[in-house]
Amino acid sequence: MDRALATALTERFGSTLLTPVRQRFDETEIRVSVADAIETLRALHDETEFSFEMLIDLCGVDTGEEMQVVYHLSSSRTGDWLRVIVPGIDRSAPRVNSLVSLWPGAEWMEREAYDMFGIIFEGNRDLRRIYMPDDYASHPLRKDFYLADDASRSPAAGVRNMERVGTPVDATRGTTLRKSPGA
């Protein structure tokens, strides 16, 4: 772990950190509450001691009990990477503040998290679907998203029907064989 970064994070944000600073793989990780997220991220961006000027990624997480937003930051001054996890977002009404004012590129990342998880980023001026059709009613990466055949499937039923390979019942030889363009 980058002990200097861990010490600086603990000294600056100690009272707002939900867990001690951790090292996970090649990144240092902190957890802050939804209420402290914007203030913490703004300090990480603006204060010269940290200078996390680049938002590498922003993603949603659905644990089944709560929603989370994870921010991956990089400092061009020190070369440090930091993962900031914001847990405790209500699954029934997932809302957090937008970070577009700090990192303009967050707009598209927030749109993706909205589209896939239903997390609403307050202040994002263009929060609309990015992958799914506008009239699509669900969010495909949520734990409560079910495929069409999931309702009838028991936990030990094996392969789902839509994953089975086979020929449709009404197929004819002409519809199942492809002809090469030159044939």
- Residues 81-136: tens digit of each pLDDT: 999 999 999 999 999 999 999 999 999 999 999 999 999 999 999 999 999 998 88
Tens of pLDDT along 1-14?
578 889 999 999 99
If DSSP codes are grouped into helix, strand and coil, which group holds residue 181? coil
In 120-177, where does DSSP find H-type helix?
Answer: 173-176
* C-beta separation of 52 from 74 below 8 A: yes
Residue-range domains of the chain with CATH: 3-143 (3.30.460.80)
Tens of pLDDT along 42-55?
999 999 999 999 99
If DSSP codes are grouped into helix, strand and coil, which group holds residue 20? coil
Q: What is the pTM of this model?
A: 0.78
